[in-house]
Amino acid sequence: MELLATFGVVLALAALLSGLAARTPLSTSLLVLVAGAVLGPGVLGVVDIHADNPIVSTLASIALVTVLFTDGQHLSIGQVRDTARLAGRALLLAMPLTALGIAALTVLVTDLGWLPAFLIGAVLSPTDPVFAAAIVQRDEIPQRLRRLLNVESGINDGLALPVVLILLAQGGTPQGSTEPLVLIGELVGGVALGIAVPFAVKGLTRLPGFNAGAAPALLVLAAGLTLFGVAELTHTNPYLAAFVGGVTFATILPEVREAFAELGEQLSEAAKLLALLVFGGLLTPTLLGSVPIGGWVLAALSLVLIRPAALLASLTTSRLPMNQRVVAAWFGPKGFASVVYGLLVLESGAPEAQEEFAIIAAVVAVSIIVHSSTDVPVARWLRNRTGGQDDGLGGEPGASPQATPTPTEHR
């Protein structure tokens, strides 16, 4: 109850400051993170949250799935197809390069070996849709860039999970099946589930007596809850299921998706802020003090060097303008997916798990602070460079213009 009451107060303050946050580098994400750290067990002790409490990973997973589901509804399948080449470069080239770069840097600046370093690289390789949304949802950002970041952050969380599980098993602390066919089945099952549920909902709306005209938003909400629940029960990939489900809804039931848009944005914002408050509570002086100097060096260089270099390399021969490549390269935030996977590392009980989690938490915290505070300046810089022009292309030859719905802006 202390957590619920505290979150109510913090959420009210975040809502009251949201207008200011939308116009300035000050972000509600940063304010809630700081509030969690101050109110958590490390300082005032108002909220007693610890990493071994299941509520931490549960809230992070719910926030991630909620944002993936709502963000997926900003895209139709046609728009995803138009962005496929650019997104493919980010997912198949930049993501592995980022993981390898972080692993090499970890070995260089810390006393960890290669296996823990590869594990940290895998955990920190995906970008986060929760904080990418801060820039994806800004009107100043050209459509092709928004779609690239949206598709990349929507899919890479699910792709990173099997790699994390395999590396944990290699360290002798498996956190689930690592059989190749099982892992592939989980990925394929997540995609299939994300397609099947929206089509099932569409089929139900055509039956006599079934009409969601009075409550279309609740119908989409119910489908989202069903997606998450069934994915967990069947052990399919919940992150791919959520994102693909959102895209499928936007494609086959656009009128229902439009009715859900405002409610979905508000729900995802609330889930994000609650998870941020809890994560902030983990950032105790003890945890931060256990991060080695090399861990802080890793946090800085992984954000300003490794991710930018990896994405710029992957986009070298693309037709995306250089200023948009720079923005995409800079805006590679780490967030709730890395927190969830970091908690898997901590729960593994491996000898170096505490140090690994502390480093992961430090990188995520620095990313939240930096990326959530730079979306406004970056968007303004890009607007000034492009003069507000947007060709609406998907970023590769043959792409066709598509209209992108403008969601409610949150920071």
**What pLDDT score was predicted for residue 180?**
86
Q: State percent of the chain over pLDDT 90.
A: 60
pLDDT band at 403 (very low <50, low <70, confident <90, very high): very low
Which segment, 206-210, 273-277, 308-312, is predicted with the most confidence on average?
308-312
**What pLDDT score was predicted for residue 134?**
63
What's the CA gap between 248 and 175, in Å, rounded? 31
Q: Is the pLDDT of residue 404 over 50?
A: no
Residue 175 CB neighbour total at 10 angstroms: 14
Contact assessment for residue 245 and residue 72, using Cβ atoms and an 8 Å cutoff: yes
Q: Is the pLDDT of residue 298 over 90?
A: yes
pLDDT band at 349 (very low <50, low <70, confident <90, very high): confident
**What pLDDT score was predicted for residue 297?**
97
What's the CA gap between 204 and 331, in Å, rounded? 40
**pLDDT (average), residues 35-58:** 90
Q: What is the largest CA-CA distance in the chain?
A: 66
Tell me the average pLDDT of the chain. Answer: 87
Q: Is the pLDDT of residue 114 over 80?
A: yes
- The answer for residues whose C-beta is within 8 angstroms of residue 322's C-beta and 6 or more apart is none
pLDDT band at 383 (very low <50, low <70, confident <90, very high): confident
Contact assessment for residue 345 and residue 169, using Cβ atoms and an 8 Å cutoff: no
Dihedral, 258, 133, 129, 299 alpha carbons, nearest 10? -170
**pLDDT (average), residues 17-26:** 74
- Number of helices (H) and strands (E) in the chain: give both, helices first: 20, 0
Which segment, 90-99, 174-183, 330-339, is predicted with the most confidence on average?
90-99
Contact assessment for residue 335 and residue 272, using Cβ atoms and an 8 Å cutoff: no
Contact assessment for residue 216 and residue 256, using Cβ atoms and an 8 Å cutoff: yes
Which range, of 82-86, 158-162, 214-218, 350-354, averages the lowest pLDDT? 214-218
Contact assessment for residue 193 and residue 241, using Cβ atoms and an 8 Å cutoff: yes
Which range, of 240-249, 293-302, 345-354, averages the lowest pLDDT? 345-354
Q: Is the pLDDT of residue 316 over 70?
A: yes
Which range, of 256-260, 297-301, 326-330, averages the lowest pLDDT? 256-260
Amino acid 97 reads L
**What pLDDT score was predicted for residue 89?**
96
**What pLDDT score was predicted for residue 132?**
67
**What pLDDT score was predicted for residue 333?**
87
Q: Is the pLDDT of residue 295 over 90?
A: yes
Residue 305 CB neighbour total at 10 angstroms: 12
Which range, of 160-164, 172-176, 201-205, averages the lowest pLDDT? 172-176
Alpha helices in 177-292 (DSSP H): 180-205, 216-234, 238-252, 254-282, 285-289
Q: Is the pLDDT of residue 49 over 90?
A: no
What's the CA gap between 168 and 210, in Å, rounded? 47
**What pLDDT score was predicted for residue 372?**
84
- Indicate yes or no: pTM above 0.85: yes
**What pLDDT score was predicted for residue 283?**
94
Which range, of 16-20, 59-63, 123-127, 306-310, averages the lowest pLDDT? 16-20
Q: Is the pLDDT of residue 324 over 70?
A: yes
Instruction: Please tell me what DSSP assigns to residue 407.
Output: P
What's the CA gap between 177 and 363, in Å, rounded? 28
Q: Is the pLDDT of residue 345 over 80?
A: yes
Q: Is the pLDDT of residue 395 over 50?
A: no
Between residues 191 and 399, the one the model is more confident about: 191
